Structure 1
Amino acid sequence: MSIDVGQGKFGRAHLAGWIPPVNEGDSKFDPMTTSASVLQDMLTAGKLTSVEILNEYYRQIMNYNGYLKAVYQLAPGAIDQAKALDSQRVSGRVLSPLHGIPILLKDNVGTDPSMGMDNTGGNLALVGSTTVRNAPIVDRLLEAGAIIMGKTTLSEMMYFKGTGIRCGWSALHGQSQNPYIRGGIDYTDGLGGHSSPGGSSSGSGIAVAAGFAPMAIGTETEGSLISPSTRQSLYTIKASLGSIPNEGIIPISQHLDIAGPMCTTVKDTADLLTVLVGDGRPDAPLGGYATAMKGEAGWKQLRVGTLDPAIFHSSEPLQTYIPEAVEQIRTATLRGYERIKDLALEYHQDVSLRPITDFEYEGTSAVVELMVEDFELDFDNYLSGTKNSQVASAKELVRWNRAHADLVLPTEYPNQEFLERSIIVDHSSDRRRKLMEHITTVGQTVQDALDKYDIDVIVGPADSSFSRYSAASGLPSCSLPLGYIDYNGRPIGLAAIARSEVTLITLQSAFEASFPPRIPPSAFLSGKE
């Protein structure tokens, strides 16, 4: 089997399928720094059309995707969609703040055959496969007037293929690159180390940071929105579990999975979250989540607790210990805490949560074991709503991978341990219920801490096990871009958990207004093909 995604500056730029026109000429905006909300203002003022916006992003993709490998496919109908939305605008009809704004989808978010794109999860067995109908979140985006621009790369099977695989790699897409990192991936570093783009929503984060689109959709089971958003200096919200529909998205665990926004600004994050959540949630704010933005004044509504970075940090083998990098991350975290302490209504240092080891069940992570328990049934259910798939079940996927090991199980990443384990699960046993009870019990520590310390939000280092507490509790979490390390230029950040998305948007808005602005990447500009 041969999949040609090509490479080169003005060749295919590692794109499968349709190749966009490349129009040279003067830029009307900087795709690296212009947010969706600013583009919307320019559209409203008649300074731009959506077709012109698309062309600028196409140029950026064709210049740099060959190196970054962030985008897998582009939608052949996007230009026609942009023209139709431009016509609606001329006639006075604007559907939402996303009207005429391009957006990229992670390559596990299903689109119907009319979109002209696969839905693969980075797995060669699913090349050519589409969902019978759009995932509900795709229809919500279209109804809001967003332009579905294409699909981004990801860590294969949402980083649930097997152990020992580097973040940002898939058999289909290859290894993606963090646009901030000088020299690209360091293969002597850990699988999620200082040179990593993070995972599994790697391509979505890279694409937004590198100016391939103003916003993108990622998905998270445990950390897959927070991690790449932190590594690309972006804002994201992982909403409360169950608040955004999972249908039509390649799953790991329907209990843990959720899609979310990845953007350069809080306003864009809030506007995109509003569309993804839709109208059916009673606690969503009237007028959308952007109404929760209070700027720096928002600190006076927030009682904040922070986690000890000596306890919550990244560790080997995921990340090689680099003393100067680790010390700079620790120092930046503590300085961030001091700034929050000065600004917040109330502040509590060293909030205590149950230790990460409490998530272990029978000697291993209960959260990972739940994924193993859930994957087969949830994946098989997803496949029942697809067309043109080469496999019809998780068992067939495992067998297909074995039969094509030369392509999908290469020497450097030869295993599919999680997939193999998932197909031998005894679904009639009581183990899943026990795992759920254990996870829920330990996850309650977050709610207990919010109550004990009488705080609204818990903030901690993003490069840590903190995301597991959000997965276990079902509470929403978010990223907070903090700075950049001298070692190789990579971004670092904080993460936060609260009872509601409204609180997190208020926090992000206050943070954005009072901390140094994010800096767009530049290292990749010399790495283009």
Structure 2
Amino acid sequence: MGKRSIATLTAALVAGSLLTGVPNPGAVAAERGTDPSAPSAGSSPGLGVDLDTVTIPELQARMGRGSLTSAALTRAYLGRIKNVDPKIHSVLRTSPTALRQAAASDARHRRGETLGPLDGIPVLLKDNVNTRDMSTTAGSLALAGSPPDTDAVLVTRLRKAGAVILGKTNLSEWANFRAAKPTSGWSAVGGQTNNPYVLDRNPCGSSSGSAAALAASLSQVAIGTETDGSIVCPAGMNGIVGHKPSLGLVSQSGVVPISAEQDTAGPMARNVIDTALTLAVLSGGGGDSARGGAAGGLGDLQGAKGAATSLRGKRIGLWRLPSLGPDVDAVMTRTANKLRKSGAVVVEVTPPYQARLAELEFPALLSEFHRDIDAYLGTRKGPKDLAGLIEFNRTHPAEQTCFAGQELFEQALAAPPTTDPKYRAMRAELKDLSQRSLDETLAAHDLDAIAAPTNPPAWTTDCARGDNDVIPSSTPAAVAGYPSLSVPAGTVNELPVGLLLMSGDHQDGKLLSLGAAVEHRLKAWRAPRYLPTVGSSATSR
């Protein structure tokens, strides 16, 4: 996507009613019973903006008028990282060149030569995305030496768009693909990331630090990665927006892998418009696969006007997932009622083939991880293959301080190669059933999207027990390679619950447009209060 296409997309987003999806600070304050004129947790003295609620178009308008500079915005976020992040441990390192990047953006703004909507906007990167000037560790001490030789393709695109690469975020080590009972948000490099809403609760993973940092307003946007749930679950559990793009829309070159058949990086933000604008840059006019590029995924956003973000006449299939508990189901009931009052048709659905997908996915990922991690390690200093990683973990006690297990590594080492006919049949069946599960459900009910709870309320973090994260809603879109989008839906005992929206292959633009309308209707975003713990007597909303 070239400059002209990005400019067209930006103009359409700003002119259209996607902006109405942004939380209104006064309305949010009124719903919380607080004084809307009082400074919020995200206010920054002298900056003139509320970092909790400001959007990229609003920031660009201020920078265009000269009432705000990227340098001042970057300093404000660096200050919040210094002052707020000690509570949540989400940011591993900040870039020593961040303020120089911001100064270069300010010079472009003064000359009227901005590079697009992300010019001067601070971005945090999950620490499995290669950066040539900062370490990229996947949370493991095995990669904590020299930085990679080159940037990931998506980082190159961000730099070319003028974004300020602010730093790197913590993650579940090896994107939660090391131990059978891991603790999300923990890595040997970064320790444990906490949920900003209730500090003894888990942030979900593996994009834990990216989501928690955004909830705490430590950056304007962040980049996460997902194989199955690793963008959308932390987005839901930390009360933000997370988009898992269609497979191939965003390049995976230079990103620590699990599986080329499912992996994708994607944008995370506090609102849908910032998420959409970041995706426009990340997609860069195409992806790694031949399954389509940015034009197919984002074309609908270029025409996003008021009608495109209205819910009237939209048909949404609600997949309730009662296994996530009665409190989450109550949030879904309230959500469905609000959508119906806005003119949407909500019908209950159950996508088929889920048991078979659950049976096949993990064995396929084991074979793919062995293949893909060996290829990646060949580009880095340190262990050169999976066997070397296993030996490294055995001989470095710091890798065992939260949990010692590396059962998934060991199972992947013993898994059949991806040339094995049984593996190939398994992946072919996975692709077929996952795509059919969504395509057939969408077609049978003439749906614009399928909606489901993104996550249960965050569980307490416990290294000895590990996660309590059987969350099936992300799997169909993740395995199919279709887009999914989590937007805030409500809370249970102060803990956020997201609404996961899924649609057909490369329908990213339509999904983001619908997500903006849903976000505007639900108005469910709440700033975190950094509570040390929470009792069972708290009410849901």
Q: Is the TM-score greater than 0.5?
A: yes
Superposed counterparts of 1:243-322, under 5 Å: 243-280=249-286, 281=293, 282-285=295-298, 289=301, 291-292=303-304, 294=306, 297-300=309-312, 302-310=314-322, 313-314=323-324
Distance in 1 between the 2:115 and 2:309 partners? 30
Shift of 1:98: 0.6
Q: Are residues 1:466 and 2:473 paired?
A: yes
Superposed counterparts of 1:371-390, under 5 Å: 371-386=365-380, 389-390=381-382
Corresponding residue of 1:419: 409
The one-letter code sitting in structure 2 at the alignment partner of 1:180 is Y
Q: Are residues 1:442 and 2:433 paired?
A: yes
Distance in 2 between the 1:169 and 1:263 partners? 22
Shift of 1:517: 4.5
Distance in 2 between the 1:299 and 1:150 partners? 37
Distance 1:367 1:266, change over 3 A: same
Distance in 2 between the 1:247 and 1:466 partners? 27
Distance in 2 between the 1:210 and 1:158 partners? 22
Task: Verify the 8 A CA contact 2:308 2:513 in the aligned structure 1.
Answer: no
Corresponding residue of 1:84: 104
Corresponding residue of 1:199: 205
Shift of 1:75: 0.9
Identify the match of residue 368 of structure 1 among 338, 341, 362: 362
Task: Verify the 8 A CA contact 1:295 1:512 in the aligned structure 2.
Answer: no
1:248-267 per-residue CA deviation (whole Å, 9 max, x = no partner) reads: 00000011100001101111
Shift of 1:239: 0.9
1:198-256 per-residue CA deviation (whole Å, 9 max, x = no partner) reads: 10000000111101101000000000011010011111211111111101000000111
Identify the match of residue 387 of structure 2 among 391, 395, 398: 395
Note the residue ranges of structure 2 that are not aligned, 5 or more in a row: 1-43, 287-292, 456-470, 534-541
Distance 1:58 1:506, change over 3 A: same
Corresponding residue of 1:20: none
Task: Verify the 8 A CA contact 1:296 1:514 in the aligned structure 2.
Answer: no
Corresponding residue of 1:148: 165
Distance 1:327 1:351, change over 3 A: closer
Please report the RMSD computed on the Cα atoms of aligned residues, expressed in angstroms.
2.1
Corresponding residue of 1:94: 114
Task: Verify the 8 A CA contact 1:155 1:168 in the aligned structure 2.
Answer: yes
Shift of 1:342: 3.1
Shift of 1:438: 2.4
Distance 1:154 1:167, change over 3 A: same
Shift of 1:456: 1.6
Q: Are residues 1:332 and 2:335 paired?
A: no
Task: Verify the 8 A CA contact 1:274 1:289 in the aligned structure 2.
Answer: no
Distance 1:291 1:419, change over 3 A: farther
The one-letter code sitting in structure 2 at the alignment partner of 1:370 is A
Shift of 1:297: 4.6
Equivalent residue pairs, number: 465
Corresponding residue of 1:508: 515
Distance in 2 between the 1:293 and 1:135 partners? 34
Shift of 1:359: 1.9
Task: Verify the 8 A CA contact 1:141 1:275 in the aligned structure 2.
Answer: yes
Q: Are residues 1:343 and 2:342 paired?
A: yes
Distance in 2 between the 1:304 and 1:25 partners? 42
Shift of 1:37: 2.8
The one-letter code sitting in structure 2 at the alignment partner of 1:522 is R
1:99-146 per-residue CA deviation (whole Å, 9 max, x = no partner) reads: 10010000000011xx2x111000011102422211110011111110
User: Matched residue of 2:414: which SS?
Assistant: coil
Task: Verify the 8 A CA contact 2:309 2:516 in the aligned structure 1.
Answer: no
Identify the match of residue 455 of structure 1 among 447, 455, 478: 447
Shift of 1:368: 1.6
Corresponding residue of 1:14: none
Distance in 1 between the 2:399 and 2:204 partners? 21
Distance in 1 between the 2:305 and 2:478 partners? 25
User: Matched residue of 2:73: which SS?
Assistant: helix
Distance in 1 between the 2:333 and 2:353 partners? 20
TM-score by length of 1: 0.84
Task: Verify the 8 A CA contact 2:331 2:491 in the aligned structure 1.
Answer: no
Distance in 1 between the 2:431 and 2:254 partners? 26
Shift of 1:514: 1.4
Distance in 1 between the 2:215 and 2:511 partners? 21
Corresponding residue of 1:226: 232
1:48-87 per-residue CA deviation (whole Å, 9 max, x = no partner) reads: 1111111111111111222211000111111111111111
Corresponding residue of 1:39: 59
Distance in 2 between the 1:511 and 1:491 partners? 16
User: Matched residue of 2:487: which SS?
Assistant: strand
Task: Verify the 8 A CA contact 1:248 1:385 in the aligned structure 2.
Answer: no
Shift of 1:452: 1.2
1:1-49 per-residue CA deviation (whole Å, 9 max, x = no partner) reads: xxxxxxxxxxxxxxxxxxxxxxx97444333333333222221121111
Identify the match of residue 525 of structure 2 among 509, 518, 527: 518
Superposed counterparts of 1:176-191, under 5 Å: 176-181=193-198, 184-185=199-200
Corresponding residue of 1:55: 75
Distance 1:270 1:291, change over 3 A: farther
Task: Verify the 8 A CA contact 1:450 1:457 in the aligned structure 2.
Answer: yes
The one-letter code sitting in structure 2 at the alignment partner of 1:378 is D
Identify the match of residue 138 of structure 1 among 142, 155, 159: 155
Note the residue ranges of structure 1 that are not aligned, 5 or more in a row: 1-23, 186-194, 315-325
The one-letter code sitting in structure 2 at the alignment partner of 1:441 is D
Shift of 1:345: 4.8
TM-score by length of 2: 0.82
Corresponding residue of 1:170: 187
User: Matched residue of 2:361: which SS?
Assistant: helix
Distance in 2 between the 1:380 and 1:478 partners? 31
The one-letter code sitting in structure 1 at the alignment partner of 2:107 is S
Distance in 1 between the 2:508 and 2:163 partners? 22
Distance in 2 between the 1:66 and 1:283 partners? 42
Task: Verify the 8 A CA contact 1:104 1:148 in the aligned structure 2.
Answer: yes
